Chain A
């Protein structure tokens, strides 16, 4: 699906832990120590209550297919048609991703299907979290 033209994220001090995690094969989220809410995207405070006491934790990497489009136009680093999806994680937050190991069709991409994270290495620094149908689940 991807090639060298795929846009590369550039980590900032606030997001470095996330990209360090994906590089090492670990999907990390943050949680507020005060209100216990897990959140995304990364930042050093809780977007629900404003608290600065937050912890990074290893998330389950499990989620469900929340919504998507199947893009039919060319984009740098992608061969159409390909799905641009939003995954709702078991811990609550949602994130954009791609769905791999699955035909990029409306018939195969069923809303609420169970997904699990895998990592797509772009270079030595960046691995992207993408999702595949959960092993053993009926797609």
Chain B
């Protein structure tokens, strides 16, 4: 894909976020898809490519009445949608399809029609991790951080600052679930979940969804929405077992996906006006800032502490409030992408004035996978 040759022309979230007990998992996909189609004035029959995770492309295409000639069911966790954007851009550039719909919907809170297979006792995770009492992401994703803290001397108070700063952004976003300011003490005094992680360092659990529509930059001119161009993309995976992550202070998948996207886009860190780093837990922006090269090893906590990623800082990050304060259905990556698109369109609640380049970085599973997209509103 040539940088800037593919654009996002349609983008929307589900009409509601949070607790949506009157919608099933697949209907959340459809609600987001219909909103994205309305956003750019298309009908399901205009779509010829479908990508999704959490439901199969078969189920989504059939449910929405779409006859695709290209599908992608890549499901590597919460960054699946970054990979879908990457794959869709390549497919459009190759002529496999013209107009791709990417959907996310997840009844993470209400659980209605949720597709989550039970753990398999013969899998490597089932044999070598589940017997030791891991129980959901808060008990697994968090395991590497004590090693990071010992290696670089990061304190619990510094880690708590991630949540504090993101709540400041959420306070500027009327759709954010939690908007009241919090202090480092509030974070450290919140209920212990998995030491050293407290409740306010763990993401929300919500219902919701989002959808994107991509087409060629040439065709994008015919739409009323402001095109958001894809400059560069990257992806990788590492391991399904958190215990087998090669370096507990750094994600190999981040270190592959991030630089690949920067190189393809032909940008350097100083060009980035806006940044999204998937924050299922408070340490992820720390790892992301370092693995993407925005700061050196062990420097991310001080960088956040110095308010560089906060409102008014030089590198505004997670401006919707993030998975910690905005919303988190389970596979949050779609919401990070939606915020990048809003920032590039100039329609974000906490808009960064004059922002021209947005980097959106996702994680899947427990440091299992990663996808990075570089967006711009310039062509």
Residues of A at under 8 Å CB distance from B?
Answer: 6-12, 15, 40-41, 66-73, 75-78, 81-82, 84-86, 94-98, 106, 111-112, 122, 128
Contact = CB atoms under 8 A, between A and B. Distances in A.
Given A67-B144, A73-B135, A86-B243, 11 more contacts: A6-B131, A7-B119, A7-B131, A41-B124, A69-B146, A71-B135, A75-B135, A96-B134, A98-B133, A111-B150, A128-B132
Given A73-B138, A75-B135, A75-B139, A7 B121 contact: yes
B142 interface: yes
B132 to A, nearest CB: 5
A136 to B, nearest CB: 24
Contacts of A94: 243-244
6 contacts: A6-B133, A9-B126, A11-B127, A41-B124, A72-B191, A96-B132
Given A70-B195, A73-B138, A75-B135, A9 B248 contact: no
A41 B240 CA distance: 12
A9 B121 contact: yes
Contact of A12 (B122, B138, B145): B122
Contact of A84 (B124, B126, B128, B143): B143
Contact of B130 (A7, A12, A66, A73): A7
Given A8-B121, A67-B147, A98 B132 contact: yes
A106 B140 CA distance: 17
B131 A69 contact: no
A102 to B, nearest CB: 15
A70 B127 contact: no
A10 B143 contact: no
A87 B130 CA distance: 15
Contact of B143 (A12, A86, A95): A86
Classify chain B's interface size: 35 or more
B133 A84 contact: yes
B132 A84 contact: yes
A73 B198 CA distance: 11
B248 A67 contact: yes
B128 to A, nearest CB: 5
B38 interface: no
B194 A72 contact: yes
Contact of A96 (B128, B142, B146, B197): B128
A68 B131 contact: no
Contacts of A41: 124, 127-128, 241, 244
Contacts of B194: 69-73, 84
Going nearest first, the 3 A-B pairs with the smallest beta carbon separation are A75-B135, A70-B195, A9-B127
B147 A84 contact: no
A97 B130 CA distance: 10
Contacts of A12: 122, 127
Given A69-B197, A111-B150, A9 B143 contact: no
A10 B127 contact: yes
Contacts of B195: 69-70, 72, 81, 106
Contacts of A77: 133
A15 B193 CA distance: 33
B129 interface: yes
A95 B132 CA distance: 11
